[in-house]
Structure 1
């Protein structure tokens, strides 16, 4: 029962994080810059410059917004292209992970036997953790890398001492923080999945004492002593495998015991 509840909770958390990241791709105000409105004068107009992954916009104090959508792909800033690609890859891998975990959950009646379902849940947790490897950044978490890359570029321009003429100092908007929360939810849900199927990685092992010291023995070695090891009686002599031959051996042992007693009497 605990395993089922933990998996359901992990499924809800990872799905919510996936939805958070998906919603940030369509949200506005990834970066914001404000100009004017200083000194408390109503004569000076206020203007907000903001951007998302698809367009740059300009909003006046009269609530009039003018936007310019990004045209050709090669005309966009390189880090915006990287953020787009990383988020799309991360969302695709996350969708595969959600499907694997849903099929492998204990409360569902699909996916096969329990060992197979545990392996599916473990695969889904790995997909949530690793995602896909990105060659330029040599990492395996594209969603988190995408937000960190965007935050890094905005912070560099915000704290730069000498900005080029015509370049604004932007601040971070709500989508970046919402995306980071979604990444944390996905990681936390993946940890819950991994806890429920930890036996896939570490199967049950028995403890035996060898020369007075405890030693762990995997399941494949159970039933074997320290001296037999890989040698089984059926491999040493084929007559040990049948019951008829074993009865013959027992009769021979009885006969030898009787002969030994008679010889001892003589």
Structure 2
């Protein structure tokens, strides 16, 4: 029962992390920069993995998609690949979790379900690692440009999508580790119960053999003694 509750907690953590990681892909604000005018007019510049936009004080946004994938900076291409990999790994991990968890009736024997659960945990751990690497790489590029005195272009700050991605990555890794630990606990419990059953059977077998050998040794004397008593009674 405790292992089943642990798996349910791990499933909730990993699914929450996967949803957060998936939501970072369409999120607009990966990096943000605002420019205050001399009067009231304010323009907000923001970018994500797919486009760069500017929003004025009236709320009107003008966006420009990145023209070519081959013309992009290398770090954006790497972040795209890592985030897409994180989403795919999380999807396969969620599918395996539905098969390998003890509260479901599919997946085969307990040993098979334990192995599937371990594989599910590894998928979520890899998903969290990919996501946290992408967000950290993107944040490193922003901070390095912000604190570089020789960088003359517009400087940006960390957007909300990066913090959401970090939170989802931590949840995915934590849930994946719990899945792996629950699988190890399940294997140890099964091994202990199996050895115990074997020892009980072997002990009963030994006792049965001992009783049989004892009876076989006592049978001749018992027969002679019973025969003597029968003979005496017959003569009387």
So what's the TM-score if we normalise by structure 2?
0.77
Structure 1 CA distance for aligned equivalents of residues 77 and 137 of structure 2 = 11
Give unpaired runs (5+ residues) of structure 1. Answer: 132-139, 207-218, 224-246, 252-266
Corresponding residue SS for 2:29: coil
Partner of 1:79: 75
Deviation track 1:41-80 (CA, whole Å, cap 9, x = no partner) reads: 5x25221111111111111122221111112211222211
Q: Is 1:152 aligned to 2:140, yes or no?
A: yes
1:47 aligns with 2:43: yes
Counterpart residue number, 1:91 = 87
How far off is 1:179 after superposition?
0.5
Judged with a 3 Å threshold, the aligned counterparts in structure 2 of structure 1 residues 35 and 182 are, in CA distance, closer, same or farther, namely same
The match for 1:190 is: 176
Structure 1 position 189, deviation (Å): 0.9
The 2-side partners of 1:141 and 1:200 are apart by 26
Q: Which residue of structure 1 aligns with residue 151 of structure 2?
A: 163
Counterpart in 1 of 2:64?
A: 68
Cα pair 1:27 1:52 within 8 Å, conserved:
yes
- Partner residue, 2:17: 17
**Structure with the higher fraction of residues in helix conformation:** 2
What stretches of structure 2 of length at least 5 have no aligned partner? Answer: 200-212, 218-236
TM-score, with normalisation over the residues of structure 1?
A: 0.68
Following TM superposition, by how much is the alpha carbon of 1:199 offset from its aligned partner in structure 2, in angstroms? 4.0
Q: How many residues align?
A: 201
Q: Show structure 1 runs of 4+ deviating over 2 A.
A: 199-206
Structure 2 CA distance for aligned equivalents of residues 201 and 108 of structure 1: 18
SS of the counterpart of 2:70?
Answer: helix
Q: 2:113 aligns with which of 99, 106, 117?
A: 117
How far has the Cα of 1:3 moved from its partner?
1.2
RMSD of aligned Cα (Å): 2.6
Higher relative contact order (CA 8 A, sep 6+): 2
The separation in 1 between residues aligned to 2:149 and 2:188, in whole angstroms, is 53
SS in structure 2 of the partner of residue 197 of structure 1: helix
* Cα distance in 1 for residues equivalent to 2:84 and 2:5: 30
Deviation readout 1:61-120 (Å, 9 max, x if unpaired): 222211111122112222111111111111111211111121010000000011110111
